[in-house]
Amino acid sequence: MDTRAILKASGYLMLTVINIPSNLFICCAFLHTRLTEAKLTPADVILCHLAIANLTSAFTRSVPQMLTAFGCENLFDDIGCKLLFFFYRTSRTLSIKFTCLLSTYQAVLVAPATSILDSLKYKIPKYLHIIIASLYAISFTCSIHPILFTYATLINNTIPPYTFIYEYCYLTFPNFTVYISIGLSLFFRDFSFIVMMAVMSCYILVLLYRHGKKVKNLRSSDNGTSGSRAETKASRAVVTLVILYTVFFEGDNAIWLYSLTILRVAPLISDIRGFFAILYTSVCPVVVIVTNPKVKAKLKVTKPRVLPHSTNTSSSTL
């Protein structure tokens, strides 16, 4: 293995080891909470679907890249490649939409009664299942193009223009018009969601700043602040996810935008872009596990109670 293959294999192996167990743990933790304790909050439901989207990204992007770097060949046929890229594009789209929905809901949750967002406090939980179903439907619909243009092998082993080389599959666009139109539509779609997330996060930060100043003035009174503290922690966690998403996926989108300016995209560029795309799906569950109380509680191991040593030797057992 050359240096590039070693770095690629190590990087994707690390991301896969973090991504799959942590996202599976989040899904199992919320499922266990739902079955044994109480109804999940809307934020928990959104986080669960976000974990499912991240998990799908790992299986459809990180695992194939890792196997290819380790020397595995001919992993998929044409149908396999089409389905692989379809589900990856769908999971990537769902990831950004669920992160955006989470930041929007958290902004609505902490908004004061005088805010224009206050009217959504009861509407989002009421119609949450419809909203999530709509996001899935839209994401599936917007991810059709890989089915049309993805192949396992190329004719005569010649790489045509406007081709993305993933080593295990090829994404080949028929002409410049299709290539640039799909590329720009994906870029501006992601950019619009990132702008919305940024606006909601800035709004949350402003409210947290105002709340912090108010707490300083009322520090002597601690009554009724537990709820606001919980909302503050949740808001900070959501803002952290949005910042991470913006950093990682903007790196991905920047490389994608650069790719639209050249005829053939080098495998190294595709590897770097893929690494940025998967990075969020691996870091996101770590943030959720650390900050979400329901998920965090599942990590606690009940320690056996140590009984005081008894001087009565007749009570001891073997």
| CA gap 61, 257 in Å, rounded | 20
CB atoms inside a 10 Å sphere around CB 216? 8
Q: What is the mean pLDDT of the chain?
A: 81
The predicted-structure confidence for 294-318, as pLDDT tens digits, reads as follows 888 877 643 444 444 444 433 333 3
Nearest alpha-carbon partner for 98 in 69, 66, 138, 40: 138
List 132's β-bridge partners, or say none: none
pLDDT of residue 216: 61
Nearest to 285, CA basis, from 100, 40, 53: 53
Mean pLDDT for the stretch of residues 191-214? 83
- The confidence score (pLDDT) of residue 59 equals 92
Is CATH 3.40.50.1980 what the domain over 3-219+240-296 is classified as, yes or no?
A: no
User: Is the pLDDT assigned to residue 190 strictly greater than 90?
Assistant: no
Q: What is the pLDDT of residue 316?
A: 36
Tell me which of 30-34, 119-123, 192-196, 306-310 is least confident: 306-310
The tens digit of pLDDT for each residue in 71-110 reads 888 888 899 999 999 999 999 899 989 999 999 998 888 8
Question: Where along the chain do its domains lie?
Answer: 3-219+240-296
Residues 146-162, mean pLDDT to the nearest whole number: 82
Angle at 33 between CA 228 and CA 231, to 5 degrees: 10
Model confidence at 184, pLDDT cuts 50, 70, 90, reads confident
More confident of the two residues 232 and 180: 180
pLDDT tens profile 4-34: 778 888 888 888 899 999 999 999 998 888 8
Of 22-26, 39-43, 66-70, 260-264, the range with the lowest mean pLDDT is 260-264
Q: What percent of the chain has pLDDT over 90?
A: 19
User: Which residue type does 216 have?
Assistant: K
Model pLDDT, residue 227: 52
